[in-house]
Structure 1
Amino acid sequence: MKFIVSSSYLLKQLSAIKGVITTNPVVPILENFLFEITDGTLKVTASDLQTSMITEIEVEAKENGSIAVPAKILLETLSNLPEQPVTISVDEDTYSIEISSDNGRYKLSGENATDFPKVPEVTNGFSVNISSDVLATAINNTFFATSNDELRPAMTGVYIKLDETNTTFVATDGHRLVRYRRVDVAADVTNSMIIPRKALNLLKTTLPGENTNVSVEFNVSNAYFKFDHVKMICRLIDERFPDYDNVIPAENNNIMTIDRLEFLSSMKRIAIYANKTTHQVRIKITGSELMISAEDLDFSNEANERLSCEHDGEDIEIGFNAQFLIQMLSNLESKKISFKLQAANKAGLLVPVDKDENEDLLMLVMPVMLNNYV
Structure 2
Amino acid sequence: MKVEVNQKDFYQAINIVRKAVSTKTTLPILSGILLKTEGQRLRLVGTDLEMGIEAFVEAEIIEEGEVVLPAIYFANIIKELPNEKVDLEISKDNNTAFIKCGYSKFNINGSPADEFPSLPKVKSGKSFKIKEGRLKEIFGQVEFAISKDESKPFLNGGLLLFEEDKIKLVATDTYRLAYREDSIEELDIEGDAIVPSNTISEIAKLLNDSEDLVEVVLTENQILFNFAGITMVSRLIEGQFPNYKQVIPKNSKTKVEVDRMELLRATKRAALLARQDADIIKINLKEDRLVITANAPEVGQAYEEVSISLLGQETEIAFNANYLVDCLKAMKDETVNVELSGSLAPGVIKRDSDDYVYVIMPVRSA
Of 360-369 and 59-68, deviating more is: 59-68
Matched residues in 1 for 2:267 and 2:261: separation?
10
Aligned to 1:338: 337
The CA deviation at 1:107 is: 2.2
The CA deviation at 1:102 is: 4.3
Aligned to 1:243: 243
Of 359-368 and 72-81, deviating more is: 72-81
Q: TM-score, normalised by structure 1?
A: 0.91
Aligned to 1:281: 281
- List per-residue Cα deviations over 1:131-167 (Å, max 9, x = no partner): 1000110111001111111111122211110122201
The CA deviation at 1:186 is: 5.9
For residues 342-361 of structure 1, the aligned pairs below 5 Å read 342-353=341-352, 360-361=355-356
Matched residues in 2 for 1:366 and 1:72: separation?
41
Aligned to 2:265: 265
Q: Residues 35, 320 of structure 1: CA spacing in aligned structure 2 closer, same or farther, 3 A cutoff?
A: same
SS at match of 2:11: helix
Amino acid at match of 1:311: L
Q: Does 1:319 align with 2:318?
A: yes
Aligned to 1:364: 359
Aligned to 2:139: 139
Q: Does 1:40 align with 2:20?
A: no
Partners of 1:170 and 1:180 within 8 A in 2: yes
Partners of 1:67 and 1:92 within 8 A in 2: no
Partners of 1:39 and 1:63 within 8 A in 2: no
The CA deviation at 1:220 is: 1.6
Amino acid at match of 1:329: L
Aligned to 2:94: 94
SS at match of 1:364: strand
SS at match of 2:67: strand
Q: Does 1:107 align with 2:102?
A: no
The CA deviation at 1:205 is: 1.7
Of 207-216 and 341-350, deviating more is: 207-216
Matched residues in 2 for 1:304 and 1:80: separation?
47
Q: Residues 291, 40 of structure 1: CA spacing in aligned structure 2 closer, same or farther, 3 A cutoff?
A: closer
The CA deviation at 1:275 is: 6.1
Amino acid at match of 1:77: I
Count of aligned residue pairs for this structure pair = 366
Amino acid at match of 2:3: F
The CA deviation at 1:315 is: 1.9
Identity %: 25
Partners of 1:164 and 1:186 within 8 A in 2: no
Amino acid at match of 1:367: P
Amino acid at match of 2:172: T
Partners of 1:258 and 1:336 within 8 A in 2: yes
SS at match of 2:14: helix
Unaligned runs of 5+ in 1: none
Of 248-257 and 100-109, deviating more is: 100-109
Aligned to 2:254: 254
Aligned to 2:80: 80
Amino acid at match of 2:150: E
Matched residues in 2 for 1:2 and 1:131: separation?
37
SS at match of 2:140: helix
Matched residues in 2 for 1:59 and 1:278: separation?
53
Q: Residues 88, 291 of structure 1: CA spacing in aligned structure 2 closer, same or farther, 3 A cutoff?
A: closer
Q: Residues 300, 88 of structure 1: CA spacing in aligned structure 2 closer, same or farther, 3 A cutoff?
A: closer
Unaligned runs of 5+ in 2: none
Aligned to 1:57: 57
Aligned to 1:328: 327
Q: TM-score, normalised by structure 2?
A: 0.93
SS at match of 1:264: helix
Matched residues in 1 for 2:105 and 2:229: separation?
29
Q: Residues 185, 193 of structure 1: CA spacing in aligned structure 2 closer, same or farther, 3 A cutoff?
A: farther
Of 283-292 and 241-250, deviating more is: 283-292
Aligned to 1:193: 193
SS at match of 2:77: helix
Q: Residues 369, 2 of structure 1: CA spacing in aligned structure 2 closer, same or farther, 3 A cutoff?
A: same
- List per-residue Cα deviations over 1:61-111 (Å, max 9, x = no partner): 255422112222222222222233233222233212222344454322210
